[in-house]
Chains A and B, each alone.
Chain A
Amino acid sequence: MLKNRSLRFKLSAFILTGTILVAAVLVSYYYSVSRRLILESARKNARHLTMETVNSIENVFRSAAKIPENLAYVLETGMSDEKGLYRLMETVVKNNSEVFGSSIAFEPGAFFPGQDRFSPYFFKDGDRIVQSNLDDPGYNYHLQDWYQIPKELNLPVWSEPYFDEGGGNIIMATYSVPFRWLNDGMNKNKFRGILTIDISLVWLKQVFEGLSIYDNGYGFLLSQSGKYLVHPDPDNIMNASIFDIAELHQDEKIRELGRKMVRGQTGFVNIIEPVTGREVYLCFAPFPSSGYSMGIVIPAKELFADLSHLNRSVAMIGVLGLLALFGVISLISGRITKPIRRLSEATSQIGQGDFNAVLPVIDSHDEIGQLMRSFQKMQTALAEYIENLKVATAAKEKIEGELRIAHDIQMGIIPKTFPPFPDRNDVDIYGILESAKAVGGDLYDFFLLDEDHLGAAIGDVSGKGIPASLFMAVTRTLLRAKSMNMKDISPGKIVTSMDTDLCTENDAGMFVTFFFIILNLKTGELEYCNAGHNPPFILDETGEITALDTVHGFPLGVMEAEPYQTGKVKIRPGARIVLYTDGVTEAENEARELFEEERLLVTLKKMKDIKDPKEITLSIKSAVKGFTLEAEQSDDLTMLVITYLGRNFNQE
Chain B
Amino acid sequence: MEIKSYQENNAIVIEIIGHLDTVTAPEYEKKMTEMMKGDSKIFIADCTQLDYISSSGLRVLLMTLKNIKNKGGKFILFGMQESVFEVFKICRFDNLFSIVPDKHEALKRLAD
Using a CB–CB cutoff of 8 Å, the interface residues on chain A facing chain B are 436, 441, 460-464, 508-511, 513, 531-535, 551, 553-555, 558-559, 582, 586, 592, 594, 634-635
Q: How far is the CB of A581 from chain B (nearest CB, A)?
A: 9
Asked if B71 lies at the interface with its beta carbon under 8 angstroms from chain A, I say: no
Q: How far is the CB of A551 from chain B (nearest CB, A)?
A: 6
Which of A463, A464, A634 has the largest count of B CB atoms less than 10 A from its CB? A463
Chain B hits for A554, CB < 8 A: 91-93, 95-96
Contacting pair A582 B55 (CB below 8 A): yes
Which of B58, B59, B95 has the largest count of A CB atoms less than 10 A from its CB? B59
Chain B 50-64 against A: per-residue CB contact (8 Å), 1 yes, 0 no? Answer: 001011101110110
B22 in complex: contacting residue of A510, A559, A634, CB < 8 Å: A634
Chain B 61-103 against A: per-residue CB contact (8 Å), 1 yes, 0 no? Answer: 0110010000000000000000000010111110110000000
B91 in complex: contacting residue of A532, A586, A592, A634, CB < 8 Å: A532
The CA-CA distance from A555 to B93 in the complex, in Å, is 9
The CA-CA distance from A436 to B59 in the complex, in Å, is 18
Chain A hits for B89, CB < 8 A: 551
Contacting pair A463 B91 (CB below 8 A): no
The 10 closest A-B pairs by CB, nearest first: A532-B91, A462-B59, A509-B63, A462-B55, A463-B56, A555-B91, A554-B92, A464-B22, A509-B62, A513-B91
Majority DSSP secondary structure for residues of A touching B: loop
Question: Are A510 and B59 also in contact (CB < 8 A) when A532-B90, A533-B90, A551-B90 are?
Answer: yes
Majority DSSP secondary structure for residues of B touching A: helix
Contacting pair A532 B92 (CB below 8 A): yes
4 further A-B contacts with Cβ under 8 Å, apart from A441-B55, A534-B90, are A436-B22, A509-B66, A511-B62, A559-B96
Asked if B15 lies at the interface with its beta carbon under 8 angstroms from chain A, I say: no
Q: How far is the CB of B11 from chain A (nearest CB, A)?
A: 22
Report the tally of A-B residue pairs with Cβ distances under 8 A.
Answer: 70
Using a CB–CB cutoff of 8 Å, the interface residues on chain B facing chain A are 19, 21-23, 25, 52, 54-56, 58-60, 62-63, 66, 87, 89-93, 95-96
Q: How far is the CB of A496 from chain B (nearest CB, A)?
A: 14
Question: Are A553 and B54 also in contact (CB < 8 A) when A463-B22, A634-B21 are?
Answer: no
Contacting pair A463 B93 (CB below 8 A): no
Chain A hits for B55, CB < 8 A: 441, 460-463, 513, 582
Contacting pair B90 A513 (CB below 8 A): yes
Chain B hits for A513, CB < 8 A: 55, 90-91
The CA-CA distance from A635 to B58 in the complex, in Å, is 14
Contacting pair A462 B96 (CB below 8 A): no
Cβ-closest chain B residue relative to A635? B54
Q: How far is the CB of B17 from chain A (nearest CB, A)?
A: 14
Chain A hits for B54, CB < 8 A: 582, 586, 634-635
The CA-CA distance from A441 to B21 in the complex, in Å, is 14
Q: How far is the CB of B1 from chain A (nearest CB, A)?
A: 12
Contacting pair B92 A463 (CB below 8 A): no
The CA-CA distance from A582 to B91 in the complex, in Å, is 12
A463 in complex: contacting residue of B19, B25, B66, B96, CB < 8 Å: B25
Cβ-closest chain B residue relative to A440? B22
Q: How far is the CB of B59 from chain A (nearest CB, A)?
A: 3
Chain B hits for A510, CB < 8 A: 59
Chain B hits for A532, CB < 8 A: 90-93
Contacting pair A462 B56 (CB below 8 A): yes
The CA-CA distance from A246 to B55 in the complex, in Å, is 125
Chain A hits for B95, CB < 8 A: 554
Cβ-closest chain B residue relative to A463? B56
Q: How far is the CB of B72 from chain A (nearest CB, A)?
A: 17
